[in-house]
């Protein structure tokens, strides 16, 4: 194993690596803390690590001072964490305790016993540590219990719309001329079809669907079934399909348990709750709670479900129950979620619903594919006006597929925006 590790370390140091499209993640490494990057599979975490590495090389860091390993490499099966430093310092004994080593560990959750190993690196070695992982548990339980405050975590999502524009070389500043605006609008049509996963950009529909379905299988069986030793994988798959077919819809654990029971699965309510938590741990699905000061009411009310990528939901779901309005709602949610984790839906005292309220400033965002129908327009505006009055907000937004308007109403200002413009103005991904 030591010889294999030496070869892998040297190969990684010699590799040029494709650093891809620069990501718009506002991340900053801090001295004394491991930098942890987490997110769904294939969202670009490893490529972003290469971008960090290339930045270090441009600053004059020697390639020999970089230790880069991907623990999904089958040659590392059975690796003991202590062997990593043994192999590295066998190559470079003169560097121990004298020069800082920049350690990049991809998909570290595949390494048994990684937590105390990284903790020891931070305490006893002259190392800067960068980690990627696909499970949100690294952000919560594992990091909290093992890293003892020695790590800072950041979330990575698939490409945002702005990053897709970056990849195509399309200008998207605030002052868009007619030509640039048309290019942006056309690119949004592509983004609507393809979603944000980097690997599917520019691919045809059939190949994109196939890749999305492979992602789905990997997430279910590698991040969930294998990791948590789930005894009923078919029940998990049926549950995931139901949720994908109902993005933007309300659910309860009781209703999901009943649904699985109707399919013949004998899965208890506690297991369904665990499945939901693990799907969120893998950054595949997200649950949104009602906005309420009472925790009891928050827990008693149904939740809404969204997928990490609206196009993936179409590729994997049945395509029958998911409508364009729900897909747009999903797209807007993921854009918001990449900037803040604290998002709820809101229900007014009269029972009218607003899709999103951001906890940080109680901003209100409603999503509606089109307001062309007078009854739809009346319903959406009334819900927003009631929410604005109840939450003390003087501004709100309605995101549509293409309509744009500024309304001055007694409750305040409501800005109706096409989705492409809303996404451009939203900003970059923030820390997790």
Mean pLDDT of 409-418: 96
In the predicted structure, residue 79 carries a pLDDT above the cut 70:
yes
Q: Which tens digits make up the pLDDT trace of 218-274?
A: 999 988 998 889 988 999 999 999 999 999 999 999 999 999 999 999 999 999 999
Q: Are 78 and 110 in contact (CB under 8 A)?
A: no
Q: Is the pLDDT of residue 277 over 90?
A: yes
pLDDT value at 43 more than 50: yes
pLDDT at 366: 98
The rounded Cα 236 to chain-centroid distance in angstroms is: 21
Quick check: 37 pLDDT over 80? yes
Contact 238, 277 (CB under 8 A): no
Residue 429 has what pLDDT?
A: 52
Tell me what the mean pLDDT of segment 98-119 comes to.
90
User: Average pLDDT for residues 58-72, to the nearest whole number?
Assistant: 94
For residues 291 and 293, give the distance between their C-alpha atoms in angstroms, rounded to a whole number.
7
* pLDDT of 427 above 80: no
Q: Give 423 or 321, the one with higher predicted confidence.
A: 423
Complete DSSP assignment for 159-192: PPHHHHHHHHT----SS--HHHHHHHHHHHHHHH
pLDDT number for residue 395: 97
pLDDT at 432: 42
Q: Which has the minimum average pLDDT: 157-161, 225-229, 390-394?
A: 225-229
What pLDDT does 139 receive? 61
Query: Quick check: 320 pLDDT over 70?
Result: no
Mean pLDDT of 154-178: 89
Q: Order of strands, edge to edge, in the sheet holding 343-347?
A: 343-347, 353-358, 363-367, 395-400, 412-418, 405-409
Output the pTM of the full model. Answer: 0.92
Q: Is 4 helix (H, G, I), strand (E, B) or coil?
A: helix
pLDDT surpassing 60 at residue 321: no
pLDDT at 140: 63
Q: Is residue 142 over pLDDT 70?
A: no
What's the CA angle centered on 287, arms 150 and 390, to 5 degrees? Answer: 105
Average predicted confidence (pLDDT) for the chain: 91
**Structure confidence at residue 266 (pLDDT):** 93
Between the alpha carbon of residue 294 and those of residues 60, 115, 273, 289, 300, the distances in Å are 54, 36, 21, 12, 10
Q: Is the pLDDT of residue 431 over 50?
A: no
**Rounded Cα–Cα distance for residues 279 and 102 (Å):** 32
Is the confidence at residue 407, as pLDDT, over 60? Answer: yes
Which whole number is the average pLDDT over 323-347? 95
CB of 40 closer than 8 Å to CB of 284: yes
- How confident is the model over 122-143, as a mean pLDDT? 80
Nearest to 5 by CA among 105, 109, 123, 119: 105
């Amino acid at each position: 194993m030591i010889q294999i590790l030496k070869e892998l370390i040297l190969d990684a140091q010699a590799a040029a690596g494709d650093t891809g499209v620069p990501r718009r993640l506002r991340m900053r490494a801090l001295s004394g803390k491991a930098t942890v990057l987490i997110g769904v599979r294939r969202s670009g975490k490893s490529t972003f690590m290469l971008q960090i590495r290339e930045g270090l090389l441009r600053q004059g860091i020697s390639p020999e001072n970089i230790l880069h390993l991907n623990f999904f490499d089958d040659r590392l099966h059975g690796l003991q964490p202590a062997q990593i430093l043994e192999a590295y310092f066998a190559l470079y004994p003169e560097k121990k305790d004298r020069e800082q080593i920049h350690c990049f560990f991809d998909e570290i959750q595949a390494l048994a016993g990684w937590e105390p190993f990284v903790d020891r690196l931070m305490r006893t070695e002259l190392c800067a540590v960068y980690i990627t992982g696909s499970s949100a548990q690294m952000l919560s339980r594992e990091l909290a219990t093992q890293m003892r405050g020695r790590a800072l975590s950041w979330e990575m999502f698939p490409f945002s719309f702005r990053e897709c524009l970056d990849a195509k070389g399309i200008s998207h500043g605030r002052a868009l001329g007619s030509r640039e605006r048309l290019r942006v609008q056309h690119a949004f049509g592509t983004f609507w079809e393809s979603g944000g996963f980097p690997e599917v950009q520019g691919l045809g529909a059939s190949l994109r669907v196939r890749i999305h379905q492979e992602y789905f299988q990997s997430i279910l069986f590698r991040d969930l079934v294998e990791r948590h030793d789930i005894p009923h994988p078919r029940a998990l798959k049926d549950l995931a399909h139901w949720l994908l077919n109902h993005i933007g819809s309300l659910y309860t654990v009781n209703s999901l348990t009943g649904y699985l029971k109707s399919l013949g699965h004998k899965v208890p309510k506690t297991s369904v709750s665990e499945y939901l938590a693990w799907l969120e741990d893998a950054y595949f699905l997200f649950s949104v709670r009602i906005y309420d000061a009472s925790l009891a009411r928050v827990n008693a009310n149904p939740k809404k479900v969204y997928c990490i990528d609206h196009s993936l939901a179409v590729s994997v779901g049945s395509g029958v129950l998911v409508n364009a309005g729900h897909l747009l709602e999903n797209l807007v949610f993921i854009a918001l979620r990449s900037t803040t984790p604290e998002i709820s839906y809101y229900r007014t005292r009269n029972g009218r619903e607003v899709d999103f309220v951001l906890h940080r400033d109680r901003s209100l965002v409603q999503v509606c594919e089109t307001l062309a129908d007078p009854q739809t327009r009346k319903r959406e505006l009334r819900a927003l006006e009631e929410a604005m009055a109840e939450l003390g907000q003087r501004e709100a937004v309605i995101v549509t597929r293409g309509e744009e308007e500024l309304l001055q109403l007694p409750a305040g200002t409501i800005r109706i925006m096409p989705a492409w413009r809303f996404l451009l103005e939203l900003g970059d991904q923030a820390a997790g």
